[in-house]
Amino acid sequence: MGSQRRSVTGTVVNLMALRRAAVTCLDRAPVRPTWDSAITAIGLARFDVPRAVAELDRLLQAQQDTGMLPLSSEAAGLCAPPVHVIALGHVLDRATEAGGADLAAAEAFADRSFDRWLAWHRWLAKVRDPDGTGLLEIRHSVESGFDTSPRWDGPRARAGADASAFRARDVFLSGIFAAANDVLAGIADELGRTDATAELHALAARFRAGVAVSVDPATSLARDVDGETGEWIAASTIAGFAPLLAGGNRELAARQRTLLLGEDWLGHGALHYPLPPTVSPMSPGFRRRVKWHGPVSPIIAMLLGWASARDSAWDLRAVLADASVAQLGDLCFGEFYEPVTGEPLGARDHPPTAAVALEWLG
């Protein structure tokens, strides 16, 4: 890889400077919520596998006896988005590339922690989908990672001041969970844990099916479910592309990739970079500077890029990679980015965003 890259937008990015800045950002990162830690571990694995292993080991210290992984120590009653095993898969992949002591350390960690990851997935399937719908229930919008998204306007309004009354089935988390079960099944195979492989593949199939059933025939977007009314929540948000994360349905994935690359999303003429806004620019609810109402999330772009590579969807992967590196070349590592001007929004020097930059750089 050269020291510079010119993106399709004409932006010239100093790749070495981007890498150095991202590593520095992670070096001074504070303690994080568990799903932020998982994303951070993905970036750490690109230059320091033992630190990535330690990051995952640290987040497991928050695990409860039930198997639940809480959002953070301050929110022990709320569960985290289930990206953790996807991060473990990344760490094992980087360790395999490095070989030697890195590989030995990562494999030893995977072996001794496997039952804890399995307990986490079993908890989610049993407690958050007791009826076997294939869609995970959330009990607060913050559990989705999309805390202020317009997806949750209805359930939030019905719950009012009583936060415990919030109920919804989250299609995006269900897509992540389907993918994570496939990853954990692969790890089980590598570890010789054949006792768990069939169970994990069955969970992946169950949640892929739940995601697929939610797709609106009129829009080709997946939908959440209002837990109180049982009705579909129709919103033009990036969560509608949950089937791309879930994988498994080639026809649906191809249809969704065409939609995502089209003018309602990445191909919209007003966008500074062809990166997914959190709400379609064609939606009346699009708000360029309001968190989860339009700004680009680097984490979501990375997850879609990972799923594209998994499924050999190299056209979409190339667009996301090129545009993400151009965007993050500002070295601000914003929590979000304004989709029209490209400026960073929210926290600067956000460790998960620095981790995303390192993952794109490879």
Contact 184, 199 (CB under 8 A): no
* Tokens matching residue 123: 């908890």
CB burial string 231-251: b at 16+ within 10 A, e below: eebebbbbbbbbbbbbbbbee
- Other C-beta atoms lying within 10 Å of the C-beta of residue 343: 15
The torsion defined by the Cα of 136, 140, 146 and 152, in degrees rounded to 10, comes to 90
Q: Which two tokens stand for residue 101?
A: 């002591």
- Active site residue ranges: 147, 335
The three-class DSSP label of residue 185 is helix
Q: Which helix or strand (DSSP H or E) is residue 323 part of?
A: helix 314-328
**Rounded Cα–Cα distance for residues 171 and 137 (Å):** 9
Question: What's the Cα-to-Cα distance from 77 to each of 66, 72, 142, rounded to whole Å?
Answer: 12, 9, 11
User: By CB neighbour count within 10 A (0-12 exposed, 13-18 middle, 19+ buried), where does 262 fall?
Assistant: exposed
Per-residue exposure over 113-146, b if at least 16 CB sit within 10 Å of its own CB, e if not: bbeebbbbbbbbbeebbeeebbbbbbbbbbbbbb
Burial class (CB in 10 A: 0-12, 13-18, 19+), 3: exposed
Beta strand ranges found along 9-128 (DSSP E)? 12-14
AA letter at 182: D
72 alpha-carbon distance from chain centroid: 17
